[in-house]
């Protein structure tokens, strides 16, 4: 059975997005060769990528573009070729386009058995961004690992990653710091 992991950037004060959903603060991450090597290594896992509608639209508008392919060809290849699941109540279907293939639309995580069956049939699933999807999956106990990239910035206001999740004990598996100030914290449910 595959694992279901979260890979998400959060601010020091625990937000995954600003108050209106903005993530422009992620662009403030200073370049760090070790951090880039780490993220590129993690992207080779072959996991199915999971998005909510907002993250899906953002990723689709960037990764298949010539700019993305030129800027980061390895990551663009992984993101563009990986199987993808989009959870959306409003998106009815997606067409496989030449540069954005392997997309499945699901309209609800309930029943959670659908996601459990996908975990059993996969080498792994990774939620990228998509704070509301993280919250929904965490509430029903579907997440096996949290990879939280703590960005050294304080927003003061925004969308908290674990809003309405409830009391959840986590076990620290790994803590890794990078020269650009980022700290990667990996947790599993205790």
- pTM, whole model, 2 decimals? 0.88
Distance, in Å, from the CA atom of 162 to the CA atom of 146, rounded to the nearest integer, reads 11
Report which of 16, 53, 22 is spatially closest to residue 161, judged by C-alpha positions. Answer: 16
Rounded to an integer, what distance in angstroms lies between the CA atom of residue 152 and that of residue 52?
25
pLDDT at 27: 85
Distance CA(149)–CA(79), nearest Å, equals 19
User: How high is the pLDDT of residue 179?
Assistant: 95
The pLDDT value recorded for residue 98 is 56
Specify the pLDDT at position 16: 94
Q: What is the mean pLDDT of each run of 10 residues along the chain (190 residues)?
A: 89 95 89 84 77 88 90 87 87 69 78 71 84 90 94 96 91 96 96
pLDDT at 160: 95
**Strand pairing report for 4-11 and 125-128:** parallel
């Amino acid at each position: 059975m595959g694992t279901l992991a979260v890979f998400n950037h959060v601010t020091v004060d625990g937000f995954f997005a600003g108050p209106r959903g903005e993530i422009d603060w992620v662009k403030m991450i200073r370049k760090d060769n070790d951090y880039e090597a780490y993220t590129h290594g993690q992207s080779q896992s072959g996991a199915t990528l999971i998005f909510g509608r907002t993250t899906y639209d953002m990723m689709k508008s960037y990764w298949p573009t010539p700019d993305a392919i030129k800027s980061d060809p390895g990551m663009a290849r992984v993101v563009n070729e990986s199987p993808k699941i989009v959870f959306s109540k409003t998106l009815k279907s997606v067409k496989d386009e030449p540069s954005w293939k392997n997309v499945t639309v699901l309209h609800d995580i309930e029943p959670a058995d659908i996601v459990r069956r996908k975990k059993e049939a996969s080498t792994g699933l990774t939620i990228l961004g998509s704070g509301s999807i993280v919250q929904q999956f965490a509430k029903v106990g579907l997440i096996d690992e949290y990879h939280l990239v703590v960005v050294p910035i304080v927003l003061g206001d925004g969308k908290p990653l674990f809003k309405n999740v409830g009391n959840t004990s986590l076990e620290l598996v790994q803590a890794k710091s990078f020269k650009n100030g980022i700290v990667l914290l990996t947790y599993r449910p205790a």
